[in-house]
Structure 1
Amino acid sequence: MYTEQDIWIVLTGTGTWFSRMIQYFTKAPLNHASIAFDSELREVYSFGRKKANNPFDGGLVRENLRDPFFYTSECAVYHFRVSKEDYQRMHNLVKEMMRDQDRYKYNLLGLLGILFRIHIDRDDAFFCSHFVATVLEQAGLRPVNKPCHLVTPEDFSHSPQLNEVYRGPLHGYLAQDMTSPLSPSPTFTPVTTKGRGKFFRFGKTG
Structure 2
Amino acid sequence: MEKLYIALVDTPGFFANIIRHVIKISYCHVALSFDADFQEAYSVGRRDPAIPFFAGFIRENTPKILRVFPDARYRVCELSCTAEQKELLREKMNICYRNRFRYHYCIIGLPFIWLQKPFYQKNHYTCSSFLAQAMDEVGLSLFEKHFSMVTPRDFYELEQLQVLYEGYLSDYVMSRHLFYGKGEVYGT
TM-score range, shorter chain: 0.7 to 0.9
- Matched residues, percent identical? 27
Number of the residue aligned with 1:188? none
Query: Structure 2 matches for 1:26-105, cutoff 5 A?
Result: 26-67=23-64, 68-105=67-104
Structure 1: tracts of 5 or more residues without a match: 180-206
What TM-score, normalized to structure 1? 0.80
Larger RCO, structures 1/2 (Cα 8 Å, 6+ apart): 2
Q: Is the 8 A contact 1:143 1:162 kept in 2?
A: no
Q: What's the secondary structure of 2:37's corresponding residue?
A: coil
Q: Report the TM-score, using the length of structure 2 for normalisation.
A: 0.88
Give the match for residue 11 of structure 2: 14
Residue aligned with 1:59, SS: strand
Structure 1 runs (4+) greater than 3 angstroms displaced? none
Write out per-residue CA displacement over residues 90-141 of structure 1, whole angstroms, 9 at most, x where no aligned residue: 0001101111111111111122211111122211111100111112111111
8 Å CA contact 1:70–1:170 kept in 2: the answer is: no
CA–CA distance in structure 1, aligned partners of residues 70 and 60 of structure 2: 11
- Which letter does structure 1 place at the counterpart of 2:127? C
Residue 66 of structure 1 aligns to a residue whose secondary structure is: helix
The structure with the largest helix share of the pair is: 2
In structure 2, the gaps of 5 or more residues are: 179-188
Give me the CA root mean square deviation: 1.6
In the aligned structure 2, how far is the partner of 1:71 from the partner of 1:146?
35
Match of 1:201 in 2: none
Deviates more, 1:162-171 or 1:63-72: 63-72
The CA deviation at 1:147 is 1.9
- Aligned residues between the structures: 176
Contact 1:46 1:128 in 2 (8 A): yes
Equivalent position of 2:106 in the other structure: 107
